[in-house]
Amino acid sequence: MTTLYADALWESPWVFSALVALEEKRVPYRTQVLDLDRGEQRDPDYVSRTLTARVPTLEHDGFYLGESKAIIEYLEEVFPGPEYPRLLPSDRRQRARARQILGWLRTDLFALRKERPSSTLFFSPATEPMSDRARADAGKLVRVASELVRSATATIFDEWSIADAELAFALQRLVVNSEPVPEPLGGYVAAQWSRPCIRAFVTQPRPTKH
């Protein structure tokens, strides 16, 4: 059985990516949640098995792997298309572009991610206005997304990829906090959010956050 180790609040964008990948691949798995506030990720056994003691971590046949992008690539290789649904495009250039998007979303937009954290998607929306830096990040996100998405029902590439899920998650930081998102991006986010693999994460039972 494959196990996905996740945060107990189910708010991490990177746990989101790993779970969406498993759901899209239709790989049987179970989840094990860790209370990060209580330091459960620092349990010596977990540290020794996972190397970096972070979530998400995937355990598959006794192999423990952390970091969502590595998990995506691993699942794509171990459960390849066309036998299993693809997470990355089959076209080489589209696949490279998808990897670019995944890398960018992990290494940019820091002010936006700080001021419109992923917790606002699942608990309470933000109450403070965005700073100039966060607003600049929001503008960059909208500009890039607008270049990639041409209609509300479109996907970035010829077929759906994990890059669509991650881009929609980033845009939801704006949507749920009532920040302006032009069409067709608003419709694109709504369409992505209704996809079954994404609903599997969105509908996870969450504890009350104080």
Q: Are residues 26 and 71 in the same domain?
A: yes
What is the percentage of the chain residues whose pLDDT exceeds 90?
Answer: 96
Last residue of one domain, picked from the residues 27, 50, 85: 85
What is the percentage of the chain residues whose pLDDT exceeds 70?
Answer: 99
In a domain, 24, yes or no: yes
Q: Which domain holds residue 187?
A: 92-197
Tell me the pLDDT tens digit for each residue of 154-195.
Answer: 899 999 999 999 999 999 999 999 999 999 999 999 999 999
DSSP-derived 3-state class of residue 68: helix
Q: Are residues 81 and 28 in the same domain?
A: yes
Does the pLDDT of residue 210 top 80, yes or no? no
DSSP-derived 3-state class of residue 135: helix
In a domain, 37, yes or no: yes
Tell me the pLDDT tens digit for each residue of 38-73.
Answer: 999 999 999 999 999 999 999 999 999 999 999 999
Q: Which helix (H) or strand (E) holds 94?
A: helix 92-107
> Is the separation of the CB atoms in 145 and 55 below 8 Å?
no
Last residue of one domain, picked from the residues 85, 115, 145: 85
| Length of the chain, in residues | 210
Q: What is the mean pLDDT of residues 120-147?
A: 97
Read off the pLDDT band of 139 (50, 70, 90): very high
In a domain, 204, yes or no: no
Global pTM reads: 0.96
In a domain, 205, yes or no: no
Q: Which helix (H) or strand (E) holds 132?
A: helix 132-148
Q: Are residues 162 and 105 in the same domain?
A: yes
Going by the DSSP 8-state scheme, the letter that residue 131 receives in this structure is P
Read off the pLDDT band of 94 (50, 70, 90): very high
Read off the pLDDT band of 150 (50, 70, 90): confident
Q: Are residues 123 and 178 in the same domain?
A: yes
Last residue of one domain, picked from the residues 26, 51, 85: 85
